[in-house]
Every structure is written in structure tokens, then in C-alpha cells.
Structure 1
Amino acid sequence: GGAAALLLLGEAVQLPFTARVRTVRRRYGLVTQGWAGWAVDVLRGLLLGLGLALPAAWGLYALTAWSPHRWWLPAAGAAAALTVALSFLFPLVVEPLFNRFTPMPDGPLRTALLDLAEQDAVAVREVLVADASRRTTALNAYVSGLGATRRIVAYDTLLATAEPREVELVVAHELGHVKHRDVLTGTALGALGAAAAVCLLGLLLGLPPLLSAAGAADAADPRSLPLLAACGTLLGALSGPLQCAVSRRVEARADRHALDLTRDPEQFVAMQRRLAVANVADVDPPRALQLLFGTHPSAARRIAAARSWRG
């Protein structure tokens, strides 16, 4: 009950802000979905969060009841295992809740993409098209999943707007993630990070001043739940800039891979310009914002890197 209340309270607090962001994005032509569809998506996300948070809270307090002082040892292992499981299942279970995916139809573009993958010695299991246009006009593509669930996904907005060669460059970037095992590495790092976070939570929940402030006798006391949530949120916020820094390096490496594979910096620059304009991106954001929140190099830096590669 406490876990559900915290999740619902968090959703209620942030809902006006997400609605405001959506209003601004709609003003710039980035949103195609109606408010009713958006509300359904919010409800889906909330139910998904409850489906994950409630069993996790139950399992966590079962462990604290088993050992109020050593619960974090098995919990760290469970958090790592859950991270790996979610990375494997996300494309199969979560993504279809929000988008429909269809195989890219046969044609010159699909053939070119498969040839590109073969040239890169990457076994592509699936190339799918996501129906992103029913929500947004933004352009994107990505790679997700592990092993049998690995797939490259392109937004239908990208296929409808970009030149075929630009689509090839976007996919070449995604092939770079596969080639360098970025999903596997990211999953491993995420599992280690989740385990480390649980260990830190175990340390924090063992501090008498914090427990006293929460009105809890020990970690097994359900009244420690708000303290646990607060500490977890704080750790997540503090780790955010580090995660963004790692992500920027990974994305820059994938850009270099795309350039090495296609040897077409002019089209790479054209593709970056198209993405920046279509997504209404800040092409050169303030350094502080980029360090705190930027998961990709800025468009200006990506274009500069392509010109440097050409040189």
C-alpha cells in the first residue's frame, strides 16, 4: 500500500509538468496524438510501474524481515538479475504496449540496410518500423534487446521524411551499437550499478539518524519506505551526469562507426541537420545542461566531428 501511494503521489506531482511540456511540444508541431491517447499512455505507464514496484517492495521487505542488517546482500544480487531480465524482456513486453512494430517491407532500402549490416559483419535478426507518427513528428531509430530479442527499429516518420541514404546513415549508427556490444555492455553496467545502489541504500538505511527521522525502528519497519524511496531518488539523480557522460561517449563512437562504414560525411552532416530541424533540437545547448542531461553529443559537435573525420 505504501509503495502504491508513493508511486501515485509521484505521478500526481509530475503530471502537470508533463502536460505542460506536451503542450509546448504540440505548439512546435512535434505532437500528433490527442489528449485521450496521451492519458491512455500515462495510465499504461502507471500500471506498468505498479506492476514492477509492488512485487519489488514486497520482496525487499521480505528480505529486511529475514535480516534487518544484511538484507542488502541478496537484494543487490536480485537487483542485478532484474536489470538483465528487463533488458532482455523490454523489447518483447514493454515496447509493444506503446507502439506497433512491423517488418520493414522488401525494397531497395531494406536491401541496402541488410547489405550494410552484412558489410559490417553484424547479424541483424530484425529490422522493424515503429508507428511513431501516431504520437509525434520527431525522427529517430534505435537498437534494443539482447540475443534473440535484438532488433533495429526505425520510426516511420524517419522513413517518410529522410532520404534513403540518410536512413542508411542512421542505421549505420545503430549497427555501431551492435558491433561494439553497447546494449550488452550497458546492461552489464546497469546491473553493476543497480547492485551498487542497493548496497549504498543498505548503508544509508543502517544510519540511526536517518531511521529516527523516518520514525522507523530499523530497515524492516515499513515506515522506512519513504526514506528508502528518497535515498533511491537521490542516488539516481547523483548518478545521472555520469550516465549521460558514458552515453555521450558511446554515441560519439557509434557516429564514428557510421562514418567509417559509409564513408559519406556529407550525407552524415545532412542527416544531422535534418534530425535537428525535425526534432526542434537545441543544436548547441549550454554546457551545464549538456553535462547534466545530454545523452548525445550536440548536433554542432556531431557535425564538427564528421567534418574532422573528412579532413
Structure 2
Amino acid sequence: MSARRAALVAAVVLGAAFVLVVVLRTPWTLLPDLPGGPTPPDPTAGLSPEAVTRAESFAGALRPASLASLVLGLAVSAVLGLTRLGARLVLAVARPLGGRWVWQVLLGTLALLAIGRLVTLPLAAYGEVVRHRYGLSTRSWPLWLRDVGVSLAIDAALTALGVLLLVWLVRRVPRWWWAWAAGAAAALVVVGSFLYPVVIEPAFNSFASLPAGQLRTDLLALAEENGTPVEDVLVSDASRRTTSLNAYVSGFGGTRRIVLYDTLLDRLPDDEIESIVAHELGHVATDDVLTGTLMGALGAAAAVAGLGWLLTWTPLLRRAGAESPADPRVVPLLLLLVSAGTLLATPVQNLVSRQVEARADLHALDLTNDAEAFIRMQERLATTNLSDPDPPAAWRWFFGSHPTKAQRVAFAEDWLRAGER
């Protein structure tokens, strides 16, 4: 069997393994069948007409810019990846340093990512203007630029190192580079999952322990009751950037901690904060992060094996102005394929995410046994975060990573009905 065909077979096998994990680990059924069927979601999710109008207005102002940014970014990537323009850029940026292949890969990747970010920057700035207009963002423009710069620097550095490793493998193991790269990609997903809480999160926020008090005691007790004790309860200085409300659990083992946005502490009563944290603890109890990491590792390995097949297709290489996968001029095409693959995978990822989030909602209801606090919390989050309670079906299908607020309130009502049986 040729190396190219072996890459295709590996991509299919790994893709099948990914699908199997998705099917087996995704919670498709959460509540028993109820008389009369599930409660139809109220499109308003119990919000006032003013709150619904404001949320819909905010979404209507932001969605076109989000779609335009997505399309524009992909179009620029396609122009650079499917013409010789990107190949020329890769050669040009490395020429002042002697033009060695290492500099072509590193500087070429950085230049391509910077161009993509600069092209969509006006749309990102417009989005920030909209968030300021609706009172959701509290960032100063210098802080916004700093966040954009830090995000780009982290993304560009990690991507450039990953691409450099891939091209190095192609040059060292010309026939079976994709197999080594697939293993490396899976390993990087696993390592990144563990390092994110201690490396990436502190780059954007500062954290301090929640002072001793009833809320801290209750949250630590909730984690113990959940069977997932935490090291600490931290408060993030999220109010420097936003007025939105959120909490999460991050880390593993000795680094596991509950993190509260500081915006929560002044705006939500303790029982609603506990409901949010119970949802996040649900992800820990059902090993959602570990399952997501496994899915990500399999998906990354399958994608790299697919690249091993695509990047040996001569017509495609010629279109990009590259001679082989070992040619640094393949970098623009590589980035395009990764972007396109990520976009195609988005609906699948979000389908799984919506089911997983619904299971975490169920866990929160079971752990706190307080559906009223859960429903009040959902209504308050929707009002404060300007969440459209019932977005268009197509948008929900493609971009929705969580059930809608209307669906979550209806789910809590069904949980109450199930408990009464």
C-alpha cells in the first residue's frame, strides 16, 4: 500500500473512531418520556418584552459582522492558499534573514496569520463598539488592543511551532510524516488541555481567592457533595472587560478550582451562583473535559492523516505554488485546509456540546434540587448577557454551543414534571 493511500485509510479509521466516541459518549437521552411529551419552549424564556427586544436587537447588530468576519477570513485564506500570492509572501518575509526553510515556515506562518487578523480587525472593532453600545463590554480601547495582540501572539506562536514541526517531519520522514504528525497532534491536544488553565488563562485575567464566608463554604461543600473536591474558589477580574455573568471549573486534580466572574458576586444571590457552579461541576463529574480531549485528539489525528493524503495531490500543490509537502511554500495551503476543516467540523462539535451542556443542566438540578433558582438564574443570565432566548434555527444549528435559554427553562420544567411522577 502506498503512503498516500495509507494516509487516507488512517484518516477514515481515525474519523470512524471519532464518530464512535461521539455516539457512545454523547448523552442523547436525559429525561424519561413524559405524558404529553416535552414542554414546548417559550420563545421568550420568561423574559420581559423589553429584555427580549433588547437581546434580539443586540444579536441583530452583531450577527452580520460575525458572519462577514468568518467569510472574509476564509476568503483571504483561500486567496493566499490557492494562488501563488501566498507562496511569494512566504519567500519574501524570510529573505532578509537568508531565506532558509525554517525562517520561511516561521515567518511565513506569522505573516499569514497577521494578515488574516488585520483584514478582519475592523469587523472585530465594530463588534466591540456594539458591545460597548449595549453595555456588555467595559474594556478600554487600549485594553481591547492589548487583548487582540496577546491573543494573536499566542495563536501565531503556537501555530508557527506546530507548522514548523510538521514541515520538519515531512523533510525527515518523507513517506510517513503524516503518521508521526498525527500522533504529535493528538499529544498536543492532550497537553494543551492540561496546560490551558495554568498558562493561557492568566494571560488575560487575574485571580484571587474568594474571601472566607458562607458562599465560599457552600461552594466547597457543593464540590465535595459532587465527589469532585476543588483546591480553591477563585474570583476573576472579568469586570475589567465585560458586564456578563459566568463561572467555570478549570484544572485537573490538585489544580482544579472553581472560578467566579467578579460580576456574579454583586448581581446574583448565592442560590443562583450555586446553580451555575453546580452546572460546571456537572462537567467535572461526567468527565466532559477528558471526553472532549479524547474527541479533540482523535479529530486532530484524523485531520492530519487527511492532510497526508491531500498534500500529496499534485494539482493542489501546483495551484498553491508548492512543489511538495516539504516545500515551505505549502504553508498558506496548509493554513487554508485547517481553517476549512475547522469550519466544517463546527456543527458537529456544537451538536455534541449542546447535549453535553444539557446534561450539565440536569446535573445542576439534581445536585441543588432547586429548579426555581435554576430558572431565575437562566433568566438573569439571558437579561444581563443579552442572550437571544430563541435564535434562528440555522444559527442555532451551526453556531449554538449551548441550548437556548428557552430550551433550558423548558428543560427545568420537564425535570420538575419528571420528579412528580
Q: Does 1:55 align with 2:161?
A: yes
Q: Which residue of structure 1 lines up, in the alignment, with residue 360 of structure 2?
A: 254
8 A contact 1:68–1:218 mirrored in 2: no
Q: Which residue of structure 1 lines up, in the alignment, with residue 80 of structure 2?
A: none
Question: Of 191, 195, 200, which residue of structure 2 is paired with 1:94?
Answer: 200
Q: Where in structure 2 are the equivalents of 1:1-311 lying within 5 Å?
A: 1-311=107-417
Q: Which residue of structure 1 lines up, in the alignment, with residue 43 of structure 2?
A: none
Shift of 1:153: 1.1
Q: Which residue of structure 1 lines up, in the alignment, with residue 30 of structure 2?
A: none
8 A contact 2:110–2:157 mirrored in 1: no
**More displaced stretch, 117-126 vs 262-271:** 117-126
Aligned residues: percent identity?
54
RMSD: 1.1
Q: For 2:187 and 2:256, how far apart are their aligned partners in 1?
A: 19
Q: For 1:184 and 1:87, how far apart are their aligned partners in 2?
A: 9
Q: For 1:38 and 1:268, how far apart are their aligned partners in 2?
A: 33
- The one-character-per-residue Cα deviations of 1:126-184 (angstroms, maximum 9, x if unpaired) are 22111100100000111222333322211010121111100000011011011001111
Amino acid at match of 1:224: V
Higher RCO (CA 8 Å, separation ≥ 6 residues): 2
Amino acid at match of 1:79: A
Q: For 1:45 and 1:150, how far apart are their aligned partners in 2?
A: 24
- The one-character-per-residue Cα deviations of 1:203-244 (angstroms, maximum 9, x if unpaired) are 111111211111211111111111111111110000000000
Amino acid at match of 2:136: L
Q: For 2:183 and 2:306, how far apart are their aligned partners in 1?
A: 13
Stretches of structure 1 that go unaligned for 5 or more consecutive residues are: none
Amino acid at match of 1:148: G
- SS for the counterpart of 1:219 is coil
Q: For 1:161 and 1:242, how far apart are their aligned partners in 2?
A: 35
8 A contact 1:3–1:53 mirrored in 2: yes
Amino acid at match of 2:240: R
Amino acid at match of 1:310: L
Q: For 1:184 and 1:303, how far apart are their aligned partners in 2?
A: 28
Q: For 2:221 and 2:363, how far apart are their aligned partners in 1?
A: 16
Q: For 1:142 and 1:194, how far apart are their aligned partners in 2?
A: 25
8 A contact 1:88–1:149 mirrored in 2: no
Q: For 1:151 and 1:183, how far apart are their aligned partners in 2?
A: 14
Q: For 2:372 and 2:219, how far apart are their aligned partners in 1?
A: 19
Shift of 1:27: 0.4
Q: For 2:383 and 2:334, how far apart are their aligned partners in 1?
A: 42
- SS for the counterpart of 1:143 is strand
Shift of 1:308: 0.7
8 A contact 1:117–1:124 mirrored in 2: yes
Q: Which residue of structure 1 lines up, in the alignment, with residue 91 of structure 2?
A: none
Question: TM-score, normalising length from structure 2?
Answer: 0.72
- SS for the counterpart of 2:212 is coil
Q: For 1:208 and 1:11, how far apart are their aligned partners in 2?
A: 30
Shift of 1:50: 2.6
8 A contact 1:104–1:128 mirrored in 2: yes
Give structure 1 regions of 4+ aligned residues with deviation exceeding 6 angstroms. none
- SS for the counterpart of 1:281 is coil
Amino acid at match of 2:210: M
Higher Cα Rg: structure 1 or 2?
2
Q: For 1:56 and 1:115, how far apart are their aligned partners in 2?
A: 42
Stretches of structure 2 that go unaligned for 5 or more consecutive residues are: 1-106
